Amino acid sequence: MASENLVLRSGNWHVRLSIPKDVRHILNRTEFTESLKTGSKAEAQVKKLAFLQIWKQLIANA
């Protein structure tokens, strides 16, 4: 499984997604980040999918 959207911070995995430059001014941010509240990379791989789906839809709508 790919882990390009996962970052390990202080023992907990976080999911992140960079926002394209052309919609940053609409969403008023440069990236989305959220703690997955787990130290398990395998569990983080599953949990990240829900966040990525929501965030990608927000970007598409913007």
This prediction has a pTM of 0.89
pLDDT in tens, 17-33: 999 999 999 999 999 99
Residue matched to tokens 């509240």 = 37
pLDDT category of residue 1 using cuts at 50, 70 and 90: very low
Percentage of the chain modeled with pLDDT above 70: 95
What per-residue confidence (pLDDT) applies to 2? 60
Report the alpha-carbon distance of residue 35 to residue 46 in Å, rounded.
13
Q: Are 41 and 48 in contact (CB under 8 A)?
A: no
Q: How high is the pLDDT of residue 4? A: 85
Dihedral angle computed from the Cα positions of residues 30, 62, 59 and 54, in that order, rounded to the nearest 10 degrees: 120
d(CA 39, CA 21): 31
